């Protein structure tokens, strides 16, 4: 590619990124820190080059192994939902491309993220290195067990859908911590936000979403 066309892509990407932010705002995303974090995260670098021209469309896209990078609108509502004044340490279940973790990394001190598919995890680690993101720690784990050795978390964000809320994740939430999780069957789920107050868990439902299923075991 010559330098002129490379520059062309750069300009397009800046304009299309801006357009994405305007769209998210019009869809009701009002937290300016979340919008800024999305604007600053180069989604095209979390996708196969062939899909680059769609990187700033507000849609989920394939990342291989039957998995998808989440739709930016869904990343935005989940990120808005998890943030609270004491939110410094977050666990993500389902690293996938690493995009959601990269957005979170701009908003909290530390992000732990677990993924069950080894090659996806390895590719995400490489992206974090390339982008010089140093506060995301990746582990090859089954997210149904959470990541007990670094618990408690101020927030746990789940980007694959279980049929029911895994108890291990509730147990790893700290006081005032929030679990943001899609719960349902493989066709549609309710996005739920569960906040811990001592031994009580308060639940709020956001909207209907569609995530890939949360699966048992490593691969």
Decide: is 195 part of the binding site for ligand SAH (CB under 6 A).
Answer: no
Which is closer to ligand SAH, CB of 35 or CB of 60?
60
Q: Give the Cα separation of 71 and 142 in Å (integer).
A: 23
Which is closer to ligand SAH, CB of 139 or CB of 176?
139
Q: Where on the phi/psi map is residue 157: left (φ > 0), alpha (ψ -120 to 50), or beta?
A: beta
Among 41, 79, 159, 189, binds ligand SAH (CB under 6 A): 159
Among 41, 70, 172, 195, binds ligand SAH (CB under 6 A): 70
Give CA separation, 203 vs 82, 190, 199, 211, in Å. 13, 12, 13, 20
Decide: is 76 part of the binding site for ligand SAH (CB under 6 A).
Answer: no
Which is closer to ligand SAH, CB of 176 or CB of 210?
210
Decide: is 142 part of the binding site for ligand SAH (CB under 6 A).
Answer: yes
Decide: is 189 part of the binding site for ligand SAH (CB under 6 A).
Answer: no
User: Which 8-state DSSP code applies to residue 198?
Assistant: T
Decide: is 181 part of the binding site for ligand SAH (CB under 6 A).
Answer: no
Say if CB 72 and CB 58 are below 8 A apart: yes
Among 35, 55, 69, 191, binds ligand SAH (CB under 6 A): 69
Say if CB 72 and CB 55 are below 8 A apart: no
At a CB cut-off of 8 Å and minimum separation 6, what does 25 contact? Answer: 35
Which is closer to ligand SAH, CB of 142 or CB of 154?
142
Binding mask 87-126 for ligand SAH (x = CB under 6 A): ------xx-xx-xx-------------xxxx--x------
Q: Which of 24, 89, 92 is nearest to 58 (CA)?
A: 24
Residues facing residue 59 across a β-bridge = none
Which is closer to ligand SAH, CB of 56 or CB of 99?
99
By beta carbon distance, the residue nearest ligand SAH is 96
Phi, psi for residue 57 in degrees, rounded to 5: -75, 155
219: annotated active-site residue: no
Catalytic residue numbers read: 70
């Amino acid at each position: 590619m010559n330098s002129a066309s490379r520059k062309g892509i750069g300009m397009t990407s800046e304009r299309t990124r801006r357009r994405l932010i305007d769209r998210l705002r019009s869809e009701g995303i009002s937290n300016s820190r979340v919008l800024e974090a999305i604007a600053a995260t180069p989604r095209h670098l979390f996708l196969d080059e062939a899909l680059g021209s769609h990187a700033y469309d507000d849609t989920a896209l394939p990342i291989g192994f039957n998995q998808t990078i989440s739709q930016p609108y869904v990343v935005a509502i989940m990120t808005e939902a998890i943030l609270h004044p004491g939110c410094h340490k977050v666990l993500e279940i389902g690293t996938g491309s690493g995009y959601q973790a990269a957005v979170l990394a701009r908003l909290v001190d530390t992000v732990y993220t677990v993924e069950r598919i080894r090659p996806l995890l390895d590719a995400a680690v490489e992206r974090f290195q390339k982008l010089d993101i140093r506060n995301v720690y990746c582990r090859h784990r089954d997210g149904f067990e959470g990541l007990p050795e670094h618990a408690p978390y101020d927030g746990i964000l789940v980007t694959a859908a279980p049929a029911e809320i895994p108890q291990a994740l509730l147990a790893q939430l700290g006081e005032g911590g929030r679990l943001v999780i899609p719960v349902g069957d493989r066709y549609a789920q309710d996005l739920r936000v569960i906040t811990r107050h001592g031994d009580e868990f308060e639940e709020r439902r956001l909207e209907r979403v569609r995530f890939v299923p949360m699966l048992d075991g490593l691969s």
